[in-house]
Amino acid sequence: MNEEVKMGKNKLVQSEIGFSIDGYLTSAILRCGAVSDKGAKTYGKGSYHQISYNDNVDHAIKHILNAKLAHDKWEKTAEDELAHAMCRLAMAMSKEVRNEH
């Protein structure tokens, strides 16, 4: 992360953190964390390592399409489709970090 120094109020100096912690991001992370916690309790902590990169991406797309279909019809889904999609993408990204894709 490239940290830039910026001037705050009252001429205070602080480092640029390089990302925003807005309400929408916090909410999304908490929703994803709830899905991840439920998955760990159901399937075992770290069990997601057994799922392939492609399977995670495919399932993320499925969850996104389910969310879009429900949204277009003004329906609620049985599970938090966007949080599930976010978790699947995070699991796929963890494969990239480990060079397992």
Residue spans of the domains in the chain: they are: 5-97
Six-digit token string for 6: 């910026």
Confidence of residue 82 (pLDDT cuts 50, 70, 90): very high
DSSP 18-87: SS---HHHHHHHHHHHHHHHHHHHHH-TTGGGGS-HHHHHHHHHHHHHHHHHHHHTT---SS-HHHHHHH
Q: Is the pTM of this model over 0.85?
A: no
Q: Give 54-69 pLDDT, tens digit per residue.
A: 999 999 999 999 999 9
Q: Give 10-35 pLDDT, tens digit per residue.
A: 666 767 777 777 778 888 999 999 99
Name which of 11-15, 24-28, 42-46, 81-85 the model is least confident about: 11-15
